[in-house]
Structure 1
């Protein structure tokens, strides 16, 4: 499809802002996917192109965290493998399974994540003792959340983060760094299937990828320098925003009928 320079410029800056937010709290797709649809990209290709550009952003943040010593990839290799396999299975399964049930459950999960970070005691500055074995965590969390990202996607970063904090007992900064590694893994797994199907629009995806890469780098720097002072409120905000967006999309007609009762 033909895309004007003005539209590409707009998508570049949207991807940059999304990458910045995504590196800290997840939810960047709330900006990029609607922007792609508004630019006239068909829904299936919009999903594939969004995975293409978000893969560069998550790689940028992941590379920064690894280079600054917040993540040891050798320690995460089992979780990475399980996440990749889970996301690949999810990307295949979504073609055959009705996603409506899962779609209806996700807003409630995102609200619970928001409440957890809002009401739970201040998270630790340093990691505590993990209550689940490394192998079980990799299989259950890496494989399970990876499957969800390949199958559906919204809120993956927030779900990974809360699992690392609540189950893995990592500090919020360490949890955020590990989240980006697994988020990048699931992005690549899903993107692989989209590329095989020939769905991404490369011109748009690569322009957005540059913006997302730059934005994610700045976001990762904020995580390292500001820590949980910025991450915690952003996770709450993005989780609640995603939940409300999904609820509106699922029950728009009901909300409109309620609003009409108050219209005189």
Structure 2
């Protein structure tokens, strides 16, 4: 059991780092949990995953709020919508299989990857396209849709948040990553409510992973704030590329 805990704790450390910079930490932690505890119920592993990841996401959110200038008050309603979308998606998952989405996901991620590579200046400068109520409404629409996806399926949620905030709202990668942390904090919180209410959280495992997740988040946030949008963009491209390979393998080969 100690070896198992050590494995998932290390995975949680790396996941916290990746999540803090560009999203996509589930690429590391979710497979680690499923391979380490192959006989556990998937819902229990997902619940434990989110119960650990929320701490690193929370830490990163606090650090970004202190250092990155964003209209946080206008974005809070969007964060609540992200949480409601996540809760709804998790509820729908109890009734509908995500197999169709599993096969479509690599293609969607590939489109995001190629678009980001083609647009060399995408997300390098912070030029918001909306202000006031319009910004709140557009951010809310993105949050609700991606939040639902997070609860229903999940892989790449942080990366989708980052990409859409860059492409639709006109944020640079650093500001988009900061905003994504706020959204992810609420999606995790609402999903944990559902999983915990059904007994699908291993709190002792989540507690160990939470400590290392925060440590990874601390390192990732510091590097992102120090090196700015260009660094976040680079990590984002690497993470999305890895997500394409992982999701394609799961959908068509595994």
Alignment TM-score, normalising by the size of structure 1: 0.89
Matched residue SS, 2:169:
coil
Task: Determine if contact 2:85/2:146 at 8 Å carries over to the other structure.
Answer: yes
| Aligned 8 A contact 1:53 1:208 in 2 | yes
Could you list the runs of 5+ residues in structure 2 that have no partner in the other structure? none
**Unaligned 5+ runs, structure 1:** 254-264
Measured against aligned partners, the alpha-carbon deviations of 1:172-226 in whole angstroms (never above 9, x if no partner) come to 1111110111011111111110011111111111100110011111101111101
Residue 23 (1) aligns with residue 20 (2): yes
Quickly say closer, same or farther: Cα 1:26–1:104, change in 2 above 3 A: same
1:227 Cα deviation (Å)?
1.2
CA drift of 1:130 comes to 1.4
Count of residues in Structure 1 that have an aligned counterpart in Structure 2? 250
Query: CA separation in 1, counterparts of 2:217 and 2:9?
Result: 13
CA distance in 1, matches of 2:76, 2:34: 36
1:94–1:151 contact (8 Å) kept in structure 2 = yes
| Partner Cα separation in structure 1 for residue 91 and residue 70 of structure 2 | 30
Does the Cα contact within 8 Å between 1:113 and 1:236 map onto a contact in 2? no
Between Structure 1 and Structure 2, which shows a larger proportion of helix residues? 2
The CA deviation at 1:135 is 3.8
Contact 2:54 2:188 in 1 (8 A): yes
Normalised to the residue count of structure 2, the TM-score between the two structures is 0.92
1:48-87 aligned within 5 A: 48-87=47-86
**Which residue of structure 2 aligns with residue 213 of structure 1?**
214
CA RMSD of aligned residues (A): 1.7
TM alignment of 1:104-115, pairs within 5 A: 104-115=103-114
- Larger gyration radius, structure 1 or structure 2: 1
